[in-house]
Structure 1
């Protein structure tokens, strides 16, 4: 893992996303992979893969599909048997817990590997393979592969619902444009966000339930690269689990906008003079609001917004290495 490689991986996001959109506009990568008669979907993975899976499964359930996401390490995976599609996600294709989960699935289940690494161990345990098409991440950090995991799980959602991927292709292209905008304007916003958010007591991130993975992944990026304390929370749940820290710490919060529960969060943070940054929308009392093209579209937000903490993490990591 290296910080310069991480920054370079992030810089290639628009290019690689547009290539993914081109591929999805041609045909669904799930066609011929998902057999007929699938009645249930189980998404398994660890870390970034699990974060993406949690939101993807919730989106599927909202369409009336039977779908769950679980940590591959769980001993309580559903024993659904025939008629079940298991999608095991591992960018490297070698996550020990995910390989173990595949060894434990019941007979008659159709398993698909969603991976960024051709010929990796996960392929041996699955009936089919779907390529993440994120290109090699030289930093060793799952950034583009996380973004592509979301996009391809959204494509699976549409495939299972029998719908065209045209809307998804448009969202991916908008996300590529939004990502490019954030990269091009980084010098105008990133130093100020670093000053506001990278505090002595760590960084907190909140996102609405339907995009909770953005808060989880953003916090992971700050922990994984520069090894900074960071925690992700769901915006509504924030008032039940994180609010307490606003009273006793130098509390710094990045809010991914779009939750109907932001008003109660803002009431608490304003009363206790917490530092708040809003991304992708407006928030009462925020010290800074970062907007980008397409941030009025939830799917564009989902595919774009985590770049903000990723860039904070990359530059903080580079500064640490340069100063060591």
Structure 2
């Protein structure tokens, strides 16, 4: 992995998203690959692919579609046969756990590779292919492909519930503009947010359940790039599982706005003097809030907000690399 190339990959997000928006405005790639008799959906993946899949599956269930997201490494994959669409997601197309999962599926399912790599092992082992169109990620970190995974899974949702992709395309286009804004004004917000969030005890991220993948991906970026301790939590669940650390550590928390449970979280963080940064909207108890165009639209937020911790991770990784150079 290469820190400078990772940072460069992030700067290419607006253009890549704009191209994807144009593609989705013209056609839904799932229309050609989803069998008409599909009644159930299984989303398989590891890491960020699994993060995005979990949110996508929950969205599908909320709209009446029988769907689940499973870690490809699980030995408890659904025993759903004919009528099941299995989407195996891997940006590289080479995730060994995902490839292995394909050998353990019941007969009669239709498999689709959702990948950024044409001609990969995943494409060869699946019945059909949908490409992420995220371009080559020279930094070796799945960043643009994460957002494109979410966008393509939103397009799958549209197909399964029988609507066109105009709304998805508009959200992707909105995310392109929002990402461009964050990048253009990086010097106005990133130094302060980095100072607030990169604490001696690590960085914590919280997001509402319907966008939990943003917190998970953001934490992963801090671990994968600058190798900093970072963990994710769902905002409501935070009061049951992470609150304890506010009593004993220098607790630094990034909250992606949009959860009804933020006031409950704020009771603890305020009382214990924790450092809280909000992203995308006002968050109770936050000492600093970072906004961007379109952040009141939930789908634009889903496709944009992770850029904030990604950029923090990229710049910190670059600084650490420069400091360690001979």
Number of residue pairs the alignment of both structures matches: 324
Q: 1:164 offset after TM fit, Å? A: 1.0
Deviations 1:242-295 (A, max 9, x none): 000000000000000000000000110000000000000001221110000000
1:253 paired residue number: 253
**Paired position in structure 2 for 1:81:** 81
Indicate the SS of the match to 1:30.
Answer: helix
Deviations 1:84-135 (A, max 9, x none): 0000000000000000000111110000000000000011210000000000
Return 5+ residue gaps in structure 1 as ranges: none
Cross-structure match for 1:300 = 300
Q: What displacement does 1:302 show?
A: 0.2
- What per-residue deviation string (whole Å, max 9, x for no partner) do you get for residues 178-231 of structure 1? 000000000000000010000000000000000000000000000000000000
| Distance in 1 of aligned mates of 2:323 and 2:278 | 30
CA distance in 1, matches of 2:105, 2:240: 36
> For residues 35-93 of structure 1, what are the alpha-carbon distances to aligned partners after superposition, in whole Å with 9 as ceiling and x for unaligned?
11000000000000000000000000000000000000000000101000000000000
Q: Provide the secondary structure at the position in 1 that maps to 2:53.
A: helix
Matches of 2:203 and 2:221 in 1, distance apart? Answer: 11
- Matching residue of 1:118: 118
* 1:221 corresponds to: 221
Q: How far apart, CA to CA, are the structure 2 residues paired with 1:318 and 1:224?
A: 13
- Give the Cα separation in 1 of the matches to 2:55 and 2:314: 25
Contact 1:57–1:68 (CA<8 Å) still a contact in 2?
yes
Residue 147 (1) aligns with residue 152 (2): no
Provide TM-score, normalisation by structure 2: 0.99
Equivalences for residues 278-317 of structure 1 within 5 A? 278-317=278-317
Compute the displacement of 1:297 (Å).
Answer: 0.6
Counterpart-to-counterpart distance in 1, 2:163 and 2:39: 17
User: TM-score, structure 1 length as denominator?
Assistant: 1.00
Q: Which residue of 2 aligns with 1:39?
A: 39
Distance 2:245 2:143 in 1: 29
Structure 1 residue matching 2:31: 3-state secondary structure: coil
Superposition CA RMSD, Å: 0.4
Q: What CA distance in whole angstroms lies between the structure 2 residues aligned with 1:94 and 1:75? A: 19
Secondary structure at 2:205's aligned position in 1?
A: strand
1:103 touches 1:125 (CA, 8 Å); kept in 2? no
- CA–CA distance in structure 2, aligned partners of residues 195 and 81 of structure 1: 51
Matches within 5 A, 1:41-56: 41-56=41-56
1:50–1:71 Cα contact (<8 Å) kept: yes
Q: Find the counterpart in structure 2 of residue 178 from structure 1.
A: 178
Partner of 2:137: 137
Q: How far, CA to CA, are the matches of 2:267 and 2:51 in structure 1? A: 28
| Mean Cα deviation higher: 220-229 or 24-33 | 24-33
Question: Hey, what does 1:198 align to over in structure 2?
Answer: 198
Q: Which runs of 4+ in 1 moved over 2 A?
A: none
Gaps of 5+ in 2: none
